[in-house]
Each structure stands twice: as structure tokens, then as C-alpha cells.
Structure 1
Amino acid sequence: MKIGQFITKRIFFLFLAISLKSFGATVDTVNTFSASMNKQIKAVVLKPNSYDNKKTFPVVYLLHGYSGNYANWVNTVPKIKDLVDQYQLMIVCPDGNFGSWYFDAPKLENSKYETYVSKELVNWVDKNYKTIANKSNRAITGLSMGGHGALYLAFKHQDIYSIAGSMSGGVDIRPFPLNWDMAKSLGTYAENKENWDKNTVMELTHLLTPKSLCLVIQCGTEDFFYNVNVKLHEKLAFNNIPHTFITNPGAHNWSYWSEAIEYQLLYMHNKFKN
């Protein structure tokens, strides 16, 4: 082979590699509508690099924490775009309105984020994107408030999700009655204990039916939610509810969550395949 031909071929393959790499995940920022709250709500939708070629994809709903918004995950952990490509799935990051805790708030008429995420948003995404529109190919996870929200929504809507995860989740909100403005949504704990019991993950395990949900729960050992996560794990184990429980060194921060999301998506990808 002549030197000129060799160089030309090398340039061609280099250009091809760069071109293929550049066509990565697509990030859409979309406006969705909640009929229950009568308002537009933003969300981020990540599509894999083969979106235009492959027919349909499984979907992971990824929830942000308290004081966050729909763009937190993609802005703070941009490698989730690579994970979308690696596992050939979609990720949807809805807005949880700063501090909704993802339930329909009994004390706030216009805060119905259980209805929005589990019904209105899922229906909107399935209508507007190439999803595999069944529970077997739909998962939900999140961090902190979003970890609570993911398990809460999955426990209550086992017809919608087949896989649920949590990263540093506030899985029992009752030990924190004065924190994160939860009293605005539920009333004070002293006067509205029933509201708090009905809207904490720890008290919803009785809703779980055999083989309905695959569960993966993670929390760092230095996290202020560590103890409630251990208690949830012990309760699930005592009741013979299968789940994966991961603890490792880490605090309540993005450094921990940026690693945890890799475990979560690998777990979900493997479950989708099965």
C-alpha cells in the first residue's frame, strides 16, 4: 500500500470514529401538562444514540431531590448521557416542584405530584416517544427526596413500574417532622400523624405483592438517611421481600449519587433484558 493511500485510510477511519462518537444521546427539554394541577411542567428526556433506528426503548424515570429541579441530573452528572447510550434506554427527569416529595399533598390542593409522575407524565411520554409502553420496561429511581418518591410511587403503582430504586432516599420521613417544609404538605406531625404514616415509604411495604417489583436500595454509611434505610432493609428482609441493598462509604452528596446511578442503571438494564 502506498503511503498516500495509507494516510488517506487512516484519516477516513479517524473521521468515522469521531463522527460516530459525536452522535450520542439526545437531550430534550420538554413542556408537559398536568391536568390535575392545571399547569405546564418541564422535564428532561434523554434518548440514546440509536433512537432514530431502533423501534422502541425501555424508560427509567429519574427523580431529583429537595430544592432541585428537572435539569439537576443532566447538568450535574452529564455521564448519564453515556449510560443512556451504553444501555440503550431512555431517561426521563421530571420536575418535582422544589419540595413535593412526590405525593398528592393532603394540605396543598395544587400539589399532586403522585398523580402527575405516575399517570400524566407516563402517559405523555408513551404518547410522544418511542417507548416500550408496559410496566416490564418501565423503572423509577431517584436521590434523597427523589429516592423516597421513587419507592413511594412504585409501591403504590405496581401496575406502572416493574423496577424501583432509591439513592440516599428519605424512606421514612417521620423522624424529620420539622425539616424540608413537609409540614406544609402534610400538616404538623403532632396533629396529623395519619397523613405522615400514609405518605412514608416505611409504612407502605404491606402494599407489595409477590414478584411485582424488583428493588435496589442504596445509601452511604455517612448519610443522615442511613439509619432509616437500614431499617427499611431490615423490614423488607423480615417480611421476605426480595431486594438488593447496597451500603458503602459515602455522604449525602453528588459525589455519592454520581457513582450510585451507575449501579442503578446497570441493575435496571439487566432486569429489562430478563
Structure 2
Amino acid sequence: MTLRLQTSARAAAVSAALVATLVASSAAPVAAEPLELETVEFFSPAVDRTMKYNIVLPHDYDGSNERYPVLYLLHGLTQNYTAWGLSNGTPFYAGLYDDLIVVMPDAGNSWYVNWTAEEGGQKNNWEDHIITDVVNHVDWNFRTIARREGRAITGLSMGGYGAITLGLRHPEMFISIGSTSGALEHARQIARRMRGESPPRQAQQRSAAQEAQRAAQRRRPNPLIGIDGFSSQAERSPDGQEFPTAEDADAYDPFMLIAKLDNDALPHIYLDCGTEDRLIAGARELATILLERDVPFDYMQMQGAHNAAYWIQSIGRITAVQYEVMQRALGQRPAGRRRARSN
């Protein structure tokens, strides 16, 4: 039974150093060399539209013939493919490793599921978009280790739910799955409301003027996204029903999915959440299940809320843990090296 409340000493030291650098960079004597974000545009048949993802390649990628493991980072609700790179310091953390590719895809406000009931002529197969279209495009166009041992996936908030759920629905795809501040109870809460086990969700009361302002904001394109027909919150929110029935919701409930998998079939699982985040209950419940199942996993909680200040701290730990899991699965001694420079 393995419950690591913190990562290895090396990972913890690296994460602590990076947090200090990001929060108070003037006091840090050593810093990593940030990597550049590249934006890739491609057509996704699963959603029948042109999409984008950001990618961070190792420092010496162009001068090497090596293949590299890939860490996929899924964004949260109302966020997009730029969130991890622009707000959470991903290029900085990726710069600690000489042999890691980081990919940040986009899935709108889809919850990373294949919507069972679609409307308006939309195709909203967002699970297939990530699992098939994004992964295949990355594997075909970059020198990846294109097998389970060379892939990990994690996400924040909605993306934490998505990473855990997709990883449990496709355990053959990823050696490690993770969640930071994940909305892990999302599908279960919907199923319970449908079965009458929980009260209906109360709509927020707004005045007519507030509704008009909100509608205008939702229609306003975000220039950072730059995806034709998919840059405003209104465009990025699927039409139709995510889960028409409770049974449909059950199929995307990580608590039910994990019960159906043998321990040997489970990927490594990483969980963390801030102690001031209401979503911590789901992380603690899943950690308890893993303890009872005697499944090796990593769990961490620390002071923090549901915000970028917390995620800037958690990304360093996530990367360190999942990188180590991939390296060990590939039969290699973790070899990430800090590219340090003196200030």
C-alpha cells in the first residue's frame, strides 16, 4: 500500500524551488530555463472542426533523434488550451526536464465526454477528440513514445475530472492519470439529481439587465483562442445534453469506473487539492477508495483554494510525479535535469 502525501525528496525540493521562483523570483538564486510554447492547428473529425493545442518540446528536440514521453494537461471549465501555458507556468516547469513533451489541448466547456444528445448540427464527441484525434496527431507529428508507458494525463478542475475519467475509461492509453482540484463528483451529482436522490440544482437569480450583460459576454470572442467559430463561451458550450439519462452519467463516473477495473489494470493515480477548495471531498473519497483497494497512488493536500495561485504550486509536483512514473515504466532511471543559471 502506497500513500505518498508528498512526492520524492527530489520532486518536493524541485517543486518548492520553483514555487519560490514563480512567487518571489527576485529571491531565488537558481531558475529553470523556460521553454517556448508552440501552437498547433489541426482538424479533429470527432468534433468536425479545426482545433488547436499548445505543445512544449524539450530544449534539444530539433538537434536530437530521440523519442520522448508526453504529459497531457487538460484545462478547466471556461478555460482553453492557453490556460496551462499562460497562467500556470507550464513552460517554466517543463524546462526542468530534458526529455519530456507537454501537450495542452482544448475541449471547450465539454467536460471531456461524448455528448449523447447533440443539437444544432454539432458534433460533440470530446472524449474521442482527446483520446483519438489529439493523441494521434501528436504521435504522428512529433517524436513521441507512442505507447501507454510513454503517456500521462492530468488536468485541473473540469480537466481533473476529465483526465481521471478518460484514464479510467481507457486504461490502456496512459500509465499515469492525475487531477488537481478536480470536479470528480460531476457525473455522480448529475446522476443523483436525475434519480431524485439529490435536489435539483438551483439556478442563479439574475435581473434582466444582468442576463443581457452575461449573454453579451458569452458571445464575445476571446482573441487568445483564435479558433474560428469556437472562441466565445457561447460557441464553446455544446448544445444538447451531456447525459440524457442517469445511466449515461454513470458511464462517466470515476467512482463507478474504478470499481469495475482490477488493480492490475489501473494506471498510476495522482490526486491533489487545496484544503480551502470545496472539491477536496471528492479527492479524499477517491484516495480512501484507493487505500482500501491497496492501490499505489500519490495524494497531496496543502493550503490553497480553487485558483491559479494553487495550481502554480501543484503543476511542479504533478510534473515531477508523473514524469517519474513514466520513466520507471519505460525502464529508465528518472533523468530530468534542471537547466540552472546563476542570477
Q: Same fold by TM-score, threshold 0.5 exceeded?
A: yes
How much has 1:95 moved relative to structure 2? 0.6
TM-score normalised over the length of structure 1: 0.84
Partner of 2:166: 153
| Structure 2: gaps (5+ residues) | 1-30, 194-200, 204-236, 329-343
- The aligned counterpart of 2:325 is 271
Q: Does 1:40 align with 2:50?
A: yes
Say whether the 8 Å CA contact 1:57–1:131 is kept in structure 2.
yes
Closer, same or farther in 2 for the Cα pair 1:179/1:52, shift >3 Å? farther
SS of the residue aligned with 2:63? coil
* 1:121 aligns to 2:134 (yes or no): yes
Kept after mapping to 2: 8 A contact 1:156/1:207: no
Of 185, 189, 197, the match for 1:175: 189
Quickly say closer, same or farther: Cα 1:65–1:125, change in 2 above 3 A. same
Residue equivalent to 1:64: 75
Question: Retained in 1: the 8 A contact 2:175–2:326?
Answer: no
Of residues 91, 105, 109, the one that matches 1:81 is 91
Equivalent residue runs for 1:86-235 within 5 Å:
86-87=96-97, 88-97=99-108, 99-108=109-118, 110-173=123-186, 174-175=188-189, 178=201, 184-187=240-243, 192-212=245-265, 213-235=267-289
Deviations 1:163-203 (A, max 9, x none): 11100101111336649989953357xxx222222222122
3-state SS of 1:165 partner: strand
> Shift of the alpha carbon at 1:268?
1.2
Instruction: List per-residue Cα deviations over 1:213-258 (Å, max 9, x = no partner).
Output: 1111001111111112111111222222221111111111111111
Alpha-carbon shift at residue 23 of structure 1 (Å): 7.8
Q: Tell me if structure 1 keeps the 8 A contact 2:32–2:95.
A: no
- SS for the counterpart of 1:73 is helix
Equivalent residues, number: 249
Check the 8 A contact 1:221/1:248 in 2, yes or no.
yes
**Overall identity of the aligned pairs, in %:** 29
Mapped partners of 1:90, 1:156: distance in 2? 23
CA spacing shift, 1:238–1:64, aligned 2, 3 Å: same
Q: For 2:61, what is the secondary structure of its paired residue?
A: coil
CA RMSD of aligned residues (A): 2.4
One-letter identity of the residue aligned with 1:47: L
Structure 1 stretches of 5 or more lacking a match? Answer: 1-20
- Per mean C-alpha deviation after superposition, the further-off stretch among 103-112 and 258-267 is 103-112
> Once the 2 structures are TM-superposed, how far is the Cα of residue 38 of structure 1 from its aligned partner?
1.5
Q: Which residue of 1 aligns with 2:15?
A: none
Shift in alpha-carbon separation, 1:187–1:85, aligned structure 2, 3 A? closer
Task: Compare relative contact order (CA 8 Å, sep 6+) and give the higher one, 1 or 2.
Answer: 2
